[in-house]
Amino acid sequence: MLFKYRIVIRILIVVVLVFLILTSACTEETLVTVQPPSLDNVTQALGYSLVPTIMPRDFEFDNYDVFDIGSEIITTIAYKRIHNSDYQQIFLLYPVNLPSSTNDILSLENLVLKWQAPDDATIKVKVNEKEAYIVYGGWSDKSLRELENSNPEFLTTYIPEWNYYVYHNLYFDYELPSGQTVSLTLRALTNPFAWITDEELIAIAESIVFTPAT
């Protein structure tokens, strides 16, 4: 009888250990702290830099660019992770011109037309208690090619396509210590909805730190 009790107790111990292991695996952090990269060219061009301090696990800094497009300077910062042969990426872009309404954020203007994305492609959220927008997807590659290559007369009747799955975007504002507001876009791509949530995008945005030029 005592032998049977010992077997039962051992089984219970094994079950508890397995449960603890599985619980630990399931609650493992999906976002981890990352070391902000040095962005000397950005701070020289803008007078400051903005970088996130958390990223999904195994993401690493890839590269950055500073684009001078005449009256504006735009920075893109790229992070990457290779997961199950997928090259997953997160981009941070700033400063960008963000319209004040959801409809304008989802529009793509040409000289003779204004494309309107589906109403269900966006939701309002909060980043650091300020209004922000999550946008699911973007215009299809085919539609963008038509916009670039087609004549204006054709485009006035062309019905563009919206791809809900190509991007996971967060549009938000960041207030600099000077009081100036900078608008940013955080974008995940390569089947993004399989590996990052709205809440995680917001957490990354809220982790951004300011570094002034020296």
Q: Do 185 and 93 touch, CB atoms closer than 8 A?
A: yes
Mean of the per-residue pLDDT values for the chain? 80
Q: What is the mean pLDDT of residues 46-68?
A: 93
Banded pLDDT at 85 (limits 50, 70, 90) = confident
pLDDT tens track for 124-169: 999 999 999 999 998 888 887 887 777 777 777 777 888 999 999 9
Q: Is residue 12 part of a domain?
A: no
Report, as an integer, the average pLDDT of 70-75: 83
Question: Would the pLDDT of 104 be above 50?
Answer: no
Does 44 map to a domain?
yes
Asked whether residue 7 is assigned to any structural domain, the reply reads: no
Please report the beta strands in the chain, taking only residues with DSSP state E, as ranges in sequence order. 31-33, 48-51, 54-56, 60-68, 73-83, 86-94, 107-109, 114-116, 122-127, 130-139, 162-175, 181-189, 209-212
CATH number reported for the structural domain that contains residue 48 in this entry: 2.60.120.1690
Residue 73 within a domain: yes
In this prediction, residue 133 carries a pLDDT of 92
- How many independent structural domains does the chain possess? 1
For residue 13, the model assigns a pLDDT of: 52
Of the candidates 8, 201, 12, the one whose C-alpha atom is nearest the C-alpha of residue 91 is: 201
Q: What is the domain extent for residue 76?
A: 30-212
Distance separating alpha carbons of residues 69 and 48, to the nearest angstrom = 18
